[in-house]
């Protein structure tokens, strides 16, 4: 009976080991991201992306594309999210389907973290090189220390060609040209195999002894010390000495082969140049704002005052990357993602030109299925139920000005 139990325990252990090893090699394909699961207040009250442009919708392997535009660091940044004092401009993609060849904020190369200021607007550009064929959802994204990734709008981009033809050549500081795609790949395989085999030997040594039930019985009987023999201690010491020797020898060999190295750069870039945005001549006061659940529409009562020299009209409300537009005032020509663009989603009770010096109280409705599809309506269940966004006004000459808004949002169910 004891022999049978030992065999069952060993077979169970081997089966578990094989299952866990197989799971390591199972990598299902991911095509899009979980931006819809990110809290609505995070997307509305942190980073506002606008004037975005994806330079291409179809890119061959080894070709490049750029994502450019502007982002506004919202003044009313939520208290529950760490400020963007240490941030990193990134791109949200499902794995290494592109490589980031370069990124810039305010015209300055930003290969590492930057410090951003609340209330400032920044211009950015990211250069991407296509690597893996497929249809991929490519997002703007800003990683904030303590706040996590803040995901912006995403657009489907098709990569064509064959991944086997992808190359990523660089020239080192010593003048040597290498292809990072397969540089020293055989060495990587060798070390993975070596340490994997090292671990298998360690597990196999202990697996040859009675497992689980017999050991539990010994421990319960107060004979735990008898489970580890003198030979076991010597074997364990041999494994420890062997691991240290391998690491020391390989480190010495690497230092001899590569005497010139530079550490990874982890400093913080400060003083990033922001855009000098024109001071808006339009003042907006939100009197009240409600979200009508059955109609998937947000209704705002706002008082607009024109302090400028030309008449203006409200043309767009942008929040969490979703653009609600009045097609009679503004048209999108940038190829913005269709699922984030409500070209006729903005209605104003009186959107006739507001003359200079004039004040008007209007009812503004932003309605579209995107409120539910992108789970922005979840904001009404938040303890701090506030919304925020950007309003864009146009004059007759096509000049545009930006006004930020921030106010409580009350749900209605009728």
Distance CA 386, CA 408 (A): 4
Q: What does the pLDDT read at residue 32?
A: 54
- For tokens 């799971």, the residue is 23
Q: What does the pLDDT read at residue 207?
A: 85
What is the rounded (10 degree) CA torsion for 106, 110, 115, 119?
30
Q: What does the pLDDT read at residue 345?
A: 94
CATH class in words for 282-412: mainly beta
- For tokens 């064959």, the residue is 162
List of E strands, 320-376: 322-325, 341-342, 346-348, 359-367
Q: What does the pLDDT read at residue 252?
A: 95
Distance CA 75, CA 27 (A): 41
Cα–Cα separations (whole angstroms), residue 250 to 10, 189, 191, 244? 35, 15, 10, 10
* Cα 306 → chain centroid: 38
Distance CA 376, CA 320 (A): 8
Tens place of pLDDT per residue across the chain (414 aa): 555 455 555 556 656 666 666 655 555 555 555 677 788 889 999 999 999 999 999 999 999 999 999 999 999 999 889 999 999 999 999 999 999 999 999 999 999 999 999 999 999 999 999 999 999 999 999 999 998 899 999 999 999 999 999 999 999 888 899 999 999 999 999 999 999 999 999 999 988 877 778 878 888 888 877 788 889 999 999 999 999 999 999 999 999 998 888 888 888 999 999 999 889 999 999 999 999 888 889 999 999 999 999 999 999 999 999 999 999 999 888 889 999 999 999 999 999 999 999 999 999 999 999 999 998 888 888 887 889 999 999 999 999 999 999 999 998 887
User: Torsions phi, psi of 180, nearest 5?
Assistant: -65, -20
Q: What does the pLDDT read at residue 306?
A: 97
Q: What does the pLDDT read at residue 210?
A: 75
Q: Judge contact between 73 and 116, C-beta under 8 A.
A: yes
Distance CA 321, CA 56 (A): 19
Tokens describing residue 392? 């864009």
Q: Give the helix/strand (H/E) hosting 154.
A: strand 148-160
Level-2 CATH architecture, domain 48-166? Sandwich (2.60)
Q: Judge contact between 392 and 404, C-beta under 8 A.
A: no
Domain limits, the chain? 48-166, 282-412
Residues 6+ apart with CB under 8 A from 39: 378, 382
Q: What are the counts of helices (DSSP H) followed by strands (DSSP E) for the chain?
A: 6, 21
Residues 6+ apart with CB under 8 A from 138: 54, 67, 91, 92, 93, 98, 128, 154, 155, 156, 157
Q: What does the pLDDT read at residue 112?
A: 92
Distance CA 60, CA 209 (A): 56
User: Torsions phi, psi of 47, nearest 5?
Assistant: -115, 125
Tokens describing residue 143? 């990683």
Distance CA 338, CA 344 (A): 12
Q: Judge contact between 332 and 53, C-beta under 8 A.
A: no
Nearest to 402 by CA among 335, 338, 319: 319
> DSSP label at 211?
-
Tokens describing residue 114? 């930057």
């Amino acid at each position: 009976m004891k022999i049978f139990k030992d065999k069952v325990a060993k077979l169970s252990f081997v089966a578990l080991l094989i299952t866990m090893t197989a799971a390591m090699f199972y990598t299902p394909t991911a095509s899009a991201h979980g931006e819809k699961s990110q809290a609505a207040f995070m997307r509305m009250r942190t980073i506002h992306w606008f004037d975005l442009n994806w330079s291409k919708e179809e890119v061959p392997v080894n070709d490049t594309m750029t994502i450019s535009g502007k982002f506004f660091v919202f003044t009313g940044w939520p208290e529950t999210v760490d400020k963007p004092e240490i941030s990193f401009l990134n791109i949200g993609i499902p794995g290494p389907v592109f490589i980031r060849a370069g990124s810039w904020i305010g015209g300055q190369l930003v290969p590492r973290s930057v410090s951003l200021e609340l209330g400032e607007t920044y211009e950015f550009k990211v250069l991407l090189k296509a690597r893996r064929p497929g249809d991929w959802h490519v997002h703007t994204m800003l990683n904030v220390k303590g706040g996590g990734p803040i995901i912006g709008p995403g657009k489907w981009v098709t990569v064509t060609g064959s991944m086997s033809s992808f190359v990523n050549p660089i020239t080192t500081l010593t003048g040597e040209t290498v292809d990072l795609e397969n540089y020293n790949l055989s060495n990587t395989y060798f070390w993975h195999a070596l340490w994997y085999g090292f671990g298998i030997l360690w597990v196999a040594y202990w697996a040859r002894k009675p497992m689980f039930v017999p050991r539990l019985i010994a421990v319960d009987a107060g004979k735990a010390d008898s489970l580890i023999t003198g030979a076991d201690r010597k074997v364990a010491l041999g494994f420890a000495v062997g691991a240290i020797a391998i690491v020391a020898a390989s480190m010495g060999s690497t230092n001899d082969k590569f005497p010139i190295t530079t550490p990874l750069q982890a400093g913080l870039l400060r003083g990033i140049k922001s855009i000098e945005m024109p001071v808006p001549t339009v003042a907006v006061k939100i009197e009240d704002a409600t979200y009508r659940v059955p109609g998937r529409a947000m209704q705002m009562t706002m008082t607009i005052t024109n302090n400028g020299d030309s008449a203006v009209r409200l043309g767009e409300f942008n929040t969490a990357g979703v653009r609600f537009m009045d097609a009679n005032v503004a048209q999108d020509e940038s190829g913005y993602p269709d699922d984030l663009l409500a070209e006729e989603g903005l209605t104003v009770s009186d959107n006739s030109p507001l003359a200079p010096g004039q004040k008007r109280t209007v009812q503004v409705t932003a309605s579209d299925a995107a409120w539910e599809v992108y789970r922005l309506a979840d904001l009404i269940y938040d303890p701090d139920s506030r919304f925020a966004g950007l309003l864009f006004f146009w004059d007759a000459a096509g000049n545009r000005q930006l006004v930020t808004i921030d106010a409580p949002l009350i749900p209605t169910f009728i």
